[in-house]
């Protein structure tokens, strides 16, 4: 998990992951997009891709003379799970919890109203 967190700490690497979310891309395409956006050289983009590959966030395949990269988001699951403990519940989660509480309260009140009391049994 630490290597994944370290890999996505860099904004250029995060942008590569976003780019790959749309599907596999050639190394040249990635280098052109990321290089232009961040003003970095093709060898620098290649190093970013190597870091992402080594930590398992991307896979590469050689197709002829071109290397293609594809996102492998499975390693992000562990990090996502760990980060989730710090997320505040969404407003919908809070509303659904409140609704669940109200449903249980209404059911309880209806059960108590349906059961005759001892005084009602005598009359």
Q: 13-52, pLDDT tens digit by residue?
A: 999 999 999 999 999 999 999 989 999 999 999 999 999 9
pTM of the model: 0.67
- The four Cα atoms 15, 21, 25, 27 give a dihedral, to 10 degrees, of 30
What percent of the chain shows pLDDT beyond 70? 93
Q: Does domain 2-76 have CATH number 1.10.10.10?
A: yes
Q: What is each CA distance from 27 to 23, 34, 56, in whole angstroms?
A: 13, 10, 17
């Amino acid at each position: 998990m630490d290597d994944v967190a370290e890999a996505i700490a860099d904004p250029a690497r995060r942008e590569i992951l976003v780019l790959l979310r749309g599907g596999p891309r050639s190394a040249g395409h990635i280098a052109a997009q990321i290089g232009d956006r961040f003003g970095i050289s093709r060898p620098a983009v290649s190093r970013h891709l190597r870091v992402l590959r080594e930590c398992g966030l991307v896979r590469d395949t050689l197709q002829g003379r071109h290397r293609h990269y594809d996102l492998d988001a499975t390693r992000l699951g562990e990090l996502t799970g760990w980060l989730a403990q710090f997320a505040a519940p969404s407003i919908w989660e809070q509303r659904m919890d409140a609704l669940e509480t109200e449903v249980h309260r209404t059911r309880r009140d209806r059960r108590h109203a349906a059961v005759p009391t001892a005084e009602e049994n005598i009359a």
